[in-house]
């Protein structure tokens, strides 16, 4: 049953996404887009864009994906599932703070994972780029992507405006 | 501390927290540490560190931690719930527009433009993550390795992250040996 599989998937993601909401993206891409084909590359990139223009964490993209796959119930289940594991772990860790801080092996493992997460996010970005480029007008597309990259890194502009600006640019270019 | 003010404040923060974890954390700091003095700056920093270490969205983890500090388990539940609620409803609305009624603003061109911007934003995010996580040259092999394993060979991500944990532990042990 899709609702059940959806819930399990987001529970898994919620448990394994070290390094913030962005770390979710490679998982979703590999399993839901490439593996199960539950989501087209287009819908996937929409989900991320919407997650960024709404306030709050980008993990809320799970709501959109859940809604697509199983309607209202899917949206609620995916949202609860994606936040529940880290919520439980955070409260548990708040109680154990002293002990966790002194566990250096754990800290070292987390640092190693954090580095690999960066590689996985990069790979998801490149995969998305490959999918986006197949639609033609590659030059304009690369321009939009580069400008978004630079604005995000070097300007105080909020992500909402970068996404909206890219929408306008897309309307004019494509 | 009673739960109602916790609910109200985090509902507000969840409605105006745009732009990723760091701007959101700045906003939460302003409200909870500076204005209301609910927790100290050190406690806040601890919450952020916790969010960065544990899985899940950093800002949400920090919010759960603050809620717990304020009012135990009930505080954690209320703060987290209130913080996520606004974006959840907004996302439901957007999903309805997109999937039920097939409304996508401006059509094909706009969506493609946004698609390309998302590529740029994801790459920017990975560069920002790199800036905080990479401490020396030894930081680069795992990044490059996991990128290649995933992009070229589509290795399961879990395996890649497991290798990362192993890398971190081995580096830690070899560093300690050198010190001895």
Triad A95, A96, A98: Cα angle to 5°? 120
DSSP string, B16-56: H--SSHHHHHHHHIIIIIIIS-SS-HHHHHHHHHHHHHSBS
Residues B92-125 pLDDT 10s:
998 998 887 776 656 678 878 888 998 998 898 8
A81 or B156: which carries more pLDDT confidence? A81
Q: Which of A56, A59, A116 sits opposite B142 (nearest CB)?
A: A116
**A156 contacts chain B (CB < 8 A):** no
The residues that bridge with B55 in the sheet, in sequence order, are: A18
Neighbouring CB atoms inside 10 A of A9's CB total 23
Q: How many CA atoms lie within 13 A of B41 on its CB side?
A: 4
Q: Which of residues 79-108 of A touch B (CB under 8 A)?
A: 79, 83, 85-87, 89-91, 93-94, 97, 100, 104-105, 107-108
Token pair, residue B16, equals 């105006």
Mutating which of B24, B39, B121 best tests the A interface, going by the most A Cβ atoms within 10 A?
Answer: B121
pTM: 0.82
Q: ipTM beyond 0.90?
A: no
A72 or A128: which carries more pLDDT confidence? A72
pLDDT of residue B180: 67
What percent of chain B is predicted at pLDDT more than 90? 47
Token pair, residue B69, equals 């500090």
Token pair, residue A144, equals 């939009």
Token pair, residue A2, equals 């899709």
């Amino acid at each position: 049953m899709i609702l059940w599989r959806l819930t399990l998937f987001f529970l898994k993601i919620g448990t394994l996404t070290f390094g913030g909401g962005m770390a979710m993206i490679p998982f979703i891409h590999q399993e839901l887009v490439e593996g199960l084909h539950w989501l087209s590359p287009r819908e996937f990139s929409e989900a991320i864009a919407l997650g960024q223009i709404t306030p709050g964490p980008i993990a809320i993209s799970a709501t959109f994906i859940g809604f697509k796959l199983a309607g209202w119930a899917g949206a609620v289940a995916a949202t609860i599932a994606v936040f529940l594991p880290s919520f439980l772990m955070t409260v548990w860790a708040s109680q154990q703070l002293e002990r966790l801080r002194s566990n250096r092996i754990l800290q070292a493992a987390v640092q190693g994972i954090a580095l690999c997460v960066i590689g996985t996010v990069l790979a998801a970005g490149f995969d998305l780029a490959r999918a986006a480029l197949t639609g033609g007008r590659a030059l304009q597309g690369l321009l939009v992507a580069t400008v978004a990259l630079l604005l995000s890194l070097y300007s105080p502009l909020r992500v909402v405006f970068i996404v909206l600006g890219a929408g306008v640019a897309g309307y004019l270019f494509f | 501390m009673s739960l109602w003010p916790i609910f109200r404040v985090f509902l507000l923060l969840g409605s105006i927290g745009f732009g990723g974890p760091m701007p959101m954390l700045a906003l939460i700091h302003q409200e909870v540490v500076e204005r209301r003095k609910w927790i100290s700056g050190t406690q806040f920093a601890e919450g952020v560190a916790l969010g960065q270490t544990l899985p899940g969205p950093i800002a949400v983890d920090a919010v759960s931690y603050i809620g717990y500090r304020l009012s135990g388990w009930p505080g954690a539940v209320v703060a987290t719930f209130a913080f996520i609620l606004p974006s959840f409803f907004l996302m439901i609305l957007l999903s309805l527009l997109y999937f039920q009624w097939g409304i996508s603003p401006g059509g094909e061109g706009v969506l493609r433009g946004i698609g390309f911007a998302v590529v740029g934003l994801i790459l920017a995010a990975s560069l920002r993550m790199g800036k905080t996580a990479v401490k020396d040259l030894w930081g680069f092999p795992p990044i490059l390795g996991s990128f290649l394993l995933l992009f070229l060979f589509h290795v399961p991500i879990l395996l890649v992250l497991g290798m990362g944990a192993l890398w971190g532990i081995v580096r830690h042990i070899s560093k300690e040996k050198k010190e001895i």
